[in-house]
Structure 1
Amino acid sequence: MKIIKVFNNNVALTKDLNSIEMVVMGKGLAFQKKVGDEIDEEKVQKMFVSPSENFAAKLSELLNEIPYEIMSLSKDIIELAEKELRTELNDSLYLSLSDHIHFAITRIKNDIPIKNALMWEVKKFYKAEYQVARLALGLIKERTGVELPEDEVASIALHIFNARQDHTGMEETVTMTNIVKDVTNIVKYHYGIDFNEESVNYSRFITHLRYFAYRMLRGEINDDQNDALYNQVKRQYGEAYKCTIKVADYLEKEYSMKMTKDELAYFMIHIHRVSIREKRMK
């Protein structure tokens, strides 16, 4: 594995025998190394394929500002997240998370706290990521001595959730979260109920809503118009139909998105399920 660019003493861009470019990280692995030198692979702590020249340039820029210790900390948090969530996360998280943690620590040291307006929504809708992010805050305190506020749990959870999607941007993730929040409130106030957030039906509803919002923002909504299913569900769940129309009106007004009959039918089913149990409990 030969070096084709040295970013700093701890990070380099390399090329393997198959001419695949990879970014490698490790304490001192590029110290006093130059282009063409071989990397001591025993020192490599993390390696990932460089997806583009843009990525390498962005990494180079960040490494001029972010200490290697923060990059290493991010690596450990990501490995913890992958273990807890039993999934692989997008390599771009190494950049975004390192940048975020470094900036958050700097703000706290300068007494400039920043509130996360979506903290309660993230806590409710992305529970698994939120729990991992809470562990991350403990690791950050242990390694840096800096105790970040709880708002940062939500921020880190959003970064983790974002990395679980297929190249979703953070702006898109925030928009998805707002859609989930707004639609949930429409259902809540239409029926005059409070949700049992531990129930299976609530979990199914939120999962459907999250992935609907994800597909909607990417223009991947199913174009099928299943009149038979739509008419049957509309007749059977009249109140859920009225609520679903409110949701459809909101989405069309705010996002210029017109729901298909298939989507309307599935929304009616999920809204009926999540509301009927709460009404019975009430």
Structure 2
Amino acid sequence: MKIKKVLNNNVVVTMNEQGQEMVVMGKGLAFQKKVGESVDISRIEKNFVLQDTGISEKLNQLLQSTSDKYLDIVSEIYDYAVSQLPYKLHDYLYVALTDHISFAIERSKEGIQLKNTLLYEIRKYYKQEFQIGLKALDMIETHTGVRLDEDEAASIALHLINSQLSGENVETAVQVTEIVNNILNIVKYHYKTELDEDSINYERFLTHLRFFSIRFIRNEHTEETIDEFFYEQVKVKYETAYACTEKIAMYLQKNFDWQLTHDEKVYLTVHIHRVTYRQHKQK
């Protein structure tokens, strides 16, 4: 195992047997070592494979001003998140979380606390990611003795959500969360009711809205698959739900210049009908 790049005295980049870049960590692992020299395997404490070869350079830049102990913490959080989430995480999460956590701890020690304005929405709509964020706070406290508040758990959750989307820009996750939240509010106001957040239909609707929003953020266009006759049938059969969909379409058109297709309107209408039907019928 040869050293490809020295990030600091404790962290190097090497290659595994499959030809993938791998970050290897261990106390004094790279002390007085140079590129091309062998890694002392007995000193290795942790390692992780990078699918994106450009990430190691970003880690290199980050570790010039940040302790590698935060990278060690993030590696533990990453492994735990992978074991809990149904989707893959982007390698950039190592960089984003290391940077975020090191800065959050620095701010905490200085008595500066920043509120996450999306704490309520993240806790509500991204329960799994938020729980991982809370677990991450435990890991951070174990390694550093610093206990961060729930706002930071929400921020960590946002990084996880964004890792599914694009890998680098957390603003993407914020935008998806805001779109989902606003659409749900439109549904609630249209039906003048709260939604049963424990129901399977609500979870299905929430999942649909997330991927629906992600496609918009990624500018992914879908071909029309629903014929005009079926579209007109849905409008008539689910008249109230379709009227709600039209309000959502107006919101998206006005705020994002997003023109909904017939397919998108049909799927939204069906989901809205499902998530509201039982409560609306009882009223």
TM (normalized to structure 1)?
0.93
> Distance between the aligned counterparts of 1:83 and 1:19, measured in 2?
24
Aligned twin of 1:119: 119
In the alignment, is the contact (CA less than 8 A) between 1:93 and 1:159 conserved in 2?
yes
Q: State the Cα distance separating 1:28 from its structure 2 match.
A: 2.5
Q: State the Cα distance separating 1:4 from its structure 2 match.
A: 2.7
In the alignment, is the contact (CA less than 8 A) between 2:159 and 2:170 conserved in 1?
yes
> Distance between the aligned counterparts of 1:168 and 1:241, measured in 2?
36
Aligned twin of 2:250: 249
- Deviations 1:45-86, CA, capped at 9 Å, x for gaps: 113236244x33321121022212111111111111112225
Aligned twin of 1:51: 52
> Distance between the aligned counterparts of 1:261 and 1:131, measured in 2?
36
Q: How many residues align?
A: 281
2:280 counterpart letter in structure 1: K
Which runs of 5 or more structure 1 residues have no equivalent in the other structure?
A: none
SS for the counterpart of 1:12 is strand
> Distance between the aligned counterparts of 1:170 and 1:267, measured in 2?
26
- Deviations 1:201-254, CA, capped at 9 Å, x for gaps: 111111000000001111213130621221111010111111100000111111
SS for the counterpart of 1:224 is coil
Aligned twin of 1:9: 9
Aligned twin of 1:207: 207
Q: How does 1:34-49 map to 2 (within 5 A)?
A: 34-42=34-42, 43=44, 45-49=46-50
Q: How does 1:224-239 map to 2 (within 5 A)?
A: 224=224, 226=226, 227-239=228-240
1:96–1:281 CA distance, 2 compared to 1 (3 A): farther
- Which has the higher mean CA deviation after the structures are superposed, 168-177 or 263-272? 168-177
SS for the counterpart of 1:22 is strand
- Deviations 1:147-180, CA, capped at 9 Å, x for gaps: 1111111101111122233546311111111000
Aligned twin of 1:102: 102
Which runs of 5 or more structure 2 residues have no equivalent in the other structure?
A: none
> Distance between the aligned counterparts of 1:116 and 1:241, measured in 2?
34
> Distance between the aligned counterparts of 1:73 and 1:142, measured in 2?
10
2:115 counterpart letter in structure 1: K
Q: How does 1:72-91 map to 2 (within 5 A)?
A: 72-85=72-85, 87-91=87-91
Q: State the Cα distance separating 1:18 from its structure 2 match.
A: 6.9
> Distance between the aligned counterparts of 2:60 and 2:80, measured in 1?
25
In the alignment, is the contact (CA less than 8 A) between 2:238 and 2:273 conserved in 1?
yes
In the alignment, is the contact (CA less than 8 A) between 1:50 and 1:56 conserved in 2?
no
> Distance between the aligned counterparts of 1:18 and 1:154, measured in 2?
36
Aligned twin of 2:263: 262
In the alignment, is the contact (CA less than 8 A) between 1:119 and 1:151 conserved in 2?
yes
> Distance between the aligned counterparts of 2:87 and 2:210, measured in 1?
18
- Which has the higher mean CA deviation after the structures are superposed, 11-20 or 201-210? 11-20
SS for the counterpart of 2:37 is coil
> Distance between the aligned counterparts of 1:21 and 1:203, measured in 2?
38
- Deviations 1:3-23, CA, capped at 9 Å, x for gaps: 132110111122456765433
TM (normalized to structure 2)?
0.93
1:281–1:115 CA distance, 2 compared to 1 (3 A): farther
> Distance between the aligned counterparts of 1:21 and 1:180, measured in 2?
37
- Which has the higher mean CA deviation after the structures are superposed, 82-91 or 267-276? 82-91
How many percent of aligned residue pairs carry the same amino acid? Answer: 44
SS for the counterpart of 1:31 is coil
Aligned twin of 2:69: 69
1:213 counterpart letter in structure 2: S
- Which has the higher mean CA deviation after the structures are superposed, 42-51 or 171-180? 42-51
> Distance between the aligned counterparts of 1:86 and 1:26, measured in 2?
30
Q: State the Cα distance separating 1:24 from its structure 2 match.
A: 2.5
- Which has the higher mean CA deviation after the structures are superposed, 249-258 or 41-50? 41-50
Q: How does 1:157-176 map to 2 (within 5 A)?
A: 157-165=157-165, 167=167, 169-176=169-176
2:221 counterpart letter in structure 1: I
SS for the counterpart of 1:115 is coil
SS for the counterpart of 2:224 is coil
1:264 counterpart letter in structure 2: K
- Which has the higher mean CA deviation after the structures are superposed, 60-69 or 232-241? 60-69
> Distance between the aligned counterparts of 2:6 and 2:136, measured in 1?
29
